[in-house]
Amino acid sequence: MDRPPSYRKNAYILTALILLIGAGSTVFLLLRLQGPASDAEAASPVADIYQDGTLLYSIPLSPDREPYTFVITGDGDRSNTVQIKNGQIGILSASCPDKLCVRQRFHSTSLLPIVCLPNRLVIRIREENAPAPDAVTY
């Protein structure tokens, strides 16, 4: 069965349109995956450390910074020993009974915060100039 010429023309146009959209999407994704175009856009993440809902410190997590450790104390005998090294932040020791914050290890991305509920400490990492995720699952 022979198709009319208008049917073939529409099929060619549709095929060309699909190929054009696919090529455009591929170019867009490749350019987006190349990363920032300048050093200003490549800002290192910043760790915001909160205790009892109050911002205590905002510390840049640059990978070329020397490692250092400091202690955050709270009411009573609450304390957390925090270390920053290789562009990552983590809790080395804590006075809380379960030590879940120590088991979270070191983080360098904003996907999950480091939390010590008994000591009311939260470490959130924010990535400047980073696109917001569409969705986050745990």
HEC string of 55-89 equals EEEEEECCCCCCCEEEEEECCCCCEEEEEEECCEE
Q: Three-state DSSP class for 116?
A: strand
Q: How far apart are CA 63 and CA 84, in angstroms?
A: 10
Q: Are 91 and 82 in contact (CB under 8 A)?
A: yes
Give me the pLDDT at residue 3, please. Answer: 63
For residue 124, CA distances in Å to 83, 97, 118 come to 14, 22, 17
As its CATH architecture, domain 46-126 has Sandwich (2.60)
Could you tell me which residues are beta bridge partners of residue 80? 72, 94
Burial of 8 (0-12, 13-18, 19+ CB in 10 A): exposed
Give me the pLDDT at residue 83, please. Answer: 92
Give me the pLDDT at residue 129, please. Answer: 65
Give per-10-residue mean pLDDT for the chain (138 aa).
Answer: 72 91 86 60 79 90 86 87 90 89 86 88 82 66
The Cα angle at residue 6 between residues 4 and 8, in degrees rounded to 5: 80
The count of other CB atoms within 10 Å of the CB of residue 103 is 8
| Full-model pTM | 0.61
